[in-house]
């Protein structure tokens, strides 16, 4: 089992703007759960590791980009629970290895590269068979880590205290974490996802994930206005917001996910999207390792 480094606590954000808007804002610090397997990646891997072990596997294989928090977390988690790990990275090798990949390698992950056109076919049977021929038996964790066991793990972000909020917000990539939060809320409150990716496929994707999980909740929405041009795209306004948030609230945010969520949440509060008196909880899904890639 993966260890919990620190139980995620809920911290209040206080300032005059929130007082004026009569909004109470809190952050659940899932980023503190583990130093290397941070936030939602810990939640998403938990039951997959238990499953892999119960099926008698010794190796995890997964996919991701060169800056992927999922690759970083999977490498650390595999090491901690005594699995071998293989990371199939999109694109070509760039030396020296960046922080994410050199960390993954230090954890013992075998890194291999897949050209972009083959990578697009990574879910298909022939490509998976090629990987099995090359590496032997492995437990496959999908790109981003999203599957039903990941959703089950993310349900555990939610407890009675989380269910008492009017709104629960999370950054979203594949939608697995958001789906788990929606399931965990059991219909209470409103769940709001902020897409870190360009486009509006996530509303449908999350609907499909929920359906595949056998539930049909309607108390959720995906906001697609704060992706800043797409995955890992940033601008000076976002970076200065993140910087200010750290100074004023002692809360570190990453530029790929949680920074965009908080920027969007702050903007929506400014536009009176939330009724006065609302209690909002933002989930800090972690990802602070990604900061090093931007330094
Ligand atoms: C991976 C990641 C997400 C996205 O999670 P999904 O389940 O893919 O939507 C959000 N926040 C952080 C910090 C992440 O690392």
- pLDDT (tens digit, 9 = 90+) per residue, 244-292? 999 999 999 999 999 999 999 999 999 999 999 999 999 999 999 877 7
The pTM assigned to this predicted structure is: 0.97
Q: Could you tell me the distance, in angstroms and rounded to a whole number, from the CA of residue 175 to the centre of ligand 1? A: 8
The H or E element spanning position 280 is: strand 279-283
Q: Which pLDDT does position 255 carry in this prediction? A: 95
Question: Closest ligand 1 atom, CA of 175?
Answer: 9
Q: Which pLDDT band holds residue 293 (cuts at 50, 70, 90)?
A: low
Q: Whose CA is nearest to atom 13 of ligand 1?
A: 287
pLDDT tens string 93-141: 999 999 999 999 999 999 999 999 999 999 999 999 999 999 999 999 9
Nearest-CA residue for ligand 1 atom 15 is: 287
- Nearest Cα neighbor of 269 from 166, 184, 147 is 166
Residue in the block written with tokens 């071998």 = 84
pLDDT tens digits, 6-46? 999 999 999 999 999 999 999 999 999 999 998 999 999 99
Hey, what domains does the chain have and what are their CATH numbers? 10-36+151-294 (3.40.50.1100), 40-145 (3.40.50.1100)
SS3 at position 116:
helix
| Helices 40-54 and 69-81, axial angle in degrees (round to 10) | 40
User: How far does the chain reach from its first CA to its final CA, in angstroms?
Assistant: 33
Q: Which two tokens stand for residue 4?
A: 């919990």
Cis before residue 216, ω within 30 degrees of 0?
no
- Here the tokens at position 14 are 């206080």
Q: Are 48 and 42 in contact (CB under 8 A)?
A: no
The token pair at 255 is: 């530029």
């Amino acid at each position: 089992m993966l260890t919990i480094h620190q139980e995620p606590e809920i911290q209040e954000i206080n300032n005059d703007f929130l007082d004026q808007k009569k909004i109470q804002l809190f952050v659940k610090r899932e980023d503190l759960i583990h130093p290397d397997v941070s936030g939602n990646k810990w939640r998403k891997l938990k039951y997959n590791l238990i499953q892999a072990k119960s099926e008698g596997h010794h190796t995890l294989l997964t996919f991701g980009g060169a800056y992927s928090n999922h690759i970083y977390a999977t490498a650390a988690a595999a090491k901690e629970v005594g699995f071998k790990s293989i990371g199939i990275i999109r694109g070509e090798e760039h030396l020296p290895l960046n922080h994410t990949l050199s960390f993954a390698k230090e954890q013992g992950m075998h890194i291999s590269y897949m050209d972009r056109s083959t990578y697009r076919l990574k879910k298909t049977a022939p490509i998976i068979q090629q990987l099995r021929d090359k590496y032997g038996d492995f437990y496959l964790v999908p790109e981003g880590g999203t599957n039903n066991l990941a959703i089950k793990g993310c349900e555990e972000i939610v407890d009675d205290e989380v269910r008492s909020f009017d709104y629960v917000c999370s950054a979203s990539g594949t939608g697995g974490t958001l789906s788990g939060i929606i399931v965990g809320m059991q219909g209470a409150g409103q769940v709001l996802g902020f897409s870190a990716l360009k486009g509006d496929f996530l509303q449908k994707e999350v609907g499909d994930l929920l359906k595949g999980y056998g539930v049909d909740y309607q108390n959720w929405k995906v906001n697609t206005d704060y992706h800043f041009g797409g995955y890992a795209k940033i601008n000076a306004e976002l970076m200065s917001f993140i910087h200010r948030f750290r100074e004023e609230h002692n809360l570190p945010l990453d530029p790929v996910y949680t920074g965009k969520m908080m920027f969007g949440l702050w903007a929506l509060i400014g536009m009176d999207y939330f009724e006065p008196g609302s209690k909002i909880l933002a989930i800090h899904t972690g990802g602070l390792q990604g900061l090093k890639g931007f330094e």
